[in-house]
Structure 1
Amino acid sequence: MDAINTEVHNAYEVIKNGGIILYPTDTVWGIGCDATNPEAVKKIYALKKREETKSMIALLNGDRMLYNIFREIPETAFQIMDLSEKPTTLILDQPKNVAANLIAPDNTLGVRLVKEPFCYKLMERMKKPLVSTSANISGQPTPKTFAEIDPEIISGVDYVVNIQRDKVCKKPSTIIKLTLDSKVTIIRK
């Protein structure tokens, strides 16, 4: 078994039991868990010392997962995803089938479709979206490398994925808020 499949297996075993992981995403190192498990989501808020009103995002591995989480998806969402040349997080209205404490107070959820092999394969195994939030204590800078991650974060997760530790992270994703009436707001370029 290659390194990615071994790590997917190890991470899945932790996540299916309600654990949280530290893992490489298509952008920065992230802290994640099963996006449908409110207790696991709560552990991430506690570890990051983050208020639960500051929502986190969910990674998805395809349109099927997207349709499982949102009743309605504006056509513009697909156009943005098709045209984006870099990772783009979309904040969409009225999510369902995820942990209530992952949903923002305005009833939205940020999601990003990823093709990065580790995340993609892990979600394929989970058959659920994966929470993703930067691997830092709330208010501190986002680490650009694994070596910059606060030891408190590393010791606070249930599993640290053992691939891409030498990777220098790209900047965080673009964030675009898209309402059901197709109003588009760029939150972070």
Structure 2
Amino acid sequence: MNEEIHNAFEVIKNGGIILYPTETVWGIGCDATNPEAVAKIYALKKREESKSMIALMNGEKMMYNVFKEIPEVAWQILDLSEKPTTLILDNPRNVAPNLIAPDKTLGIRIIKEPFAFKLLERMKKPLVSTSANVSGAPTPTNFKEISQEIIKGVDYVVNLPNEKMTGKPSAIIKLSNDNQVKIIRK
């Protein structure tokens, strides 16, 4: 796994995009602070930039680097969630502008899956994560379902099987700084 982390890190550091396993589904990712790399993912997915993607983080320190204010309920949800959960929070900073949604929010997920967690430790910045499909196509539940267009369109494919992958996208909960909570996907 260390070699895969090194290879993925080198590609990301140089503005490239990778195909990698998460705890939910295979993801396409890049440095969340690099607008050119983020634009490459939108182009590969044929996705409008107004349809934002999420960023993976490895803990509290990284979250506070991106969000000045984090509602207390966010920590409670993260502590109590039994499955991977994406939180949409207000007013991100220190990320690529084209990663931020038109309503000035950003979806984030704290990752525990070993490969992505260790990659984030090495990067010291958030990692974009979006499902490995062209926009509008079904989300692939395993590597065999990923289209050749996506595989050929990334700069590096992480060579790690992930047997623990759920094959299902994460739950999504939107938390506003004014304490509004909205469940987007269970």
Match in the other structure for 1:132: 129
**Equivalent position SS for 2:108:** strand
Is it true that 1:76 corresponds to 2:50 in the alignment? no
In structure 2, distance between residues paired with 1:19 and 1:167? 26
| Counterpart amino acid of residue 81 in structure 2 | S
Give yes or no for contact 1:94–1:108 (8 Å, CA) kept in 2.
yes
Instruction: Report how far residue 26 of structure 1 moved.
Output: 1.1
Q: Which amino acid aligns with 2:136?
A: G
Q: In the alignment, residue 143 of structure 1 is paired with which amino acid?
A: P
Q: Which structure 2 residue ranges, 5 or more long, are not aligned?
A: none
Q: TM-score, normalised by structure 2?
A: 0.98
Q: Please list, as runs of the form range in 1=range in 2, the aligned pairs for 1:20-31 lying within 5 A after superposition.
A: 20-31=17-28
1:88 matched residue in structure 2: 85
SS of the residue corresponding to residue 19 of structure 2 reads strand
2:94 is the alignment partner of 1:97? yes
Alignment partner of 1:12 out of 9, 13, 33: 9
Supply the distance in 1 between the matched residues of 2:164 and 2:149 (Cα, whole angstroms). 20
Q: Distance in 2 between matches of 1:153 and 1:167?
A: 22
| Aligned counterparts of 2:164 and 2:150: Cα–Cα separation in 1 | 18
SS at match of 1:51: coil
Q: Percent identity?
A: 75
- CA deviations 1:115-168 (Å, max 9, x no partner) are 110000000000000000000000000001100001000000000000016666
Pairing partner for 2:106 from 106, 109, 122: 109
The alignment yields a C-alpha RMSD, in angstroms, of 1.0
User: When the two structures are superposed, what TM-score results if normalisation uses the length of structure 1?
Assistant: 0.96
State whether structure 2 residue 64 is matched by structure 1 residue 67: yes
Query: Which residue of the partner structure matches residue 50 of structure 2?
Result: 53
User: Would you say how many aligned residue pairs link Structure 1 and Structure 2?
Assistant: 186
What secondary structure is seen at the aligned counterpart in 1 of 2:7?
helix
Partner of 1:42: 39
Asked if the contact 2:70–2:89 (Cα under 8 Å) also holds between the matched residues in 1, the reply is yes
Residue in structure 2 matching 1:146, options 143, 152, 156: 143
Give 1:102 deviation, angstroms: 0.1
CA–CA distance in 2 between the matches of 1:86 and 1:131?
Answer: 19
Opposite residue 171 of structure 1, the aligned amino acid is K
Q: More deviation in 135-144 or 158-167? A: 158-167
Q: Structure 1: which 5+ runs fail to align? A: none
